[in-house]
């Protein structure tokens, strides 16, 4: 697995590095605080085989 490509693809999917205010993780999710949620490319994230889903709740955009 190419983790550098996976990271780039996820960051691009959430609207790019300039759209990220902060990021944290837990066992199953990357939790993003985003400046503008409308910039998320849901289809792009869905096309990443390692991404099992995505959820927006509590002001966080979570990539599973």
Q: Of 38, 40, 58, whose CA–CA distance to 48 is shortest?
A: 40
**What pLDDT was estimated at residue 56?**
96
The Cβ of residue 63 has, within 10 Å, a number of other Cβ atoms equal to 22
State the pLDDT at residue 1.
86
Q: Which CATH superfamily is domain 3-63 in?
A: Glucose permease domain IIB (3.30.1360.60)
59: left (phi over 0), alpha (psi -120 to 50) or beta: left
Active-site residues: which are they? 26
d(CA 37, CA 17): 13
Q: Would you give per-residue pLDDT tens digits along the chain (64 residues)?
A: 899 999 999 999 999 999 999 999 999 999 999 999 999 999 999 999 999 999 999 999 999 9
Give the contacts of 26 (CB within 8 A, at least 6 positions apart): none
Per-residue pLDDT at 35: 97
């Amino acid at each position: 697995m190419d983790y550098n490509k996976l990271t780039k693809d996820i960051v691009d999917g959430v609207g790019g590095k300039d759209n990220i205010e902060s990021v944290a993780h837990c066992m199953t999710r990357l939790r993003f605080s985003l400046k503008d949620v409308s910039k998320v490319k849901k289809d792009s994230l869905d096309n990443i085989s390692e991404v099992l889903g995505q959820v927006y709740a509590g002001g966080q955009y979570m990539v599973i």
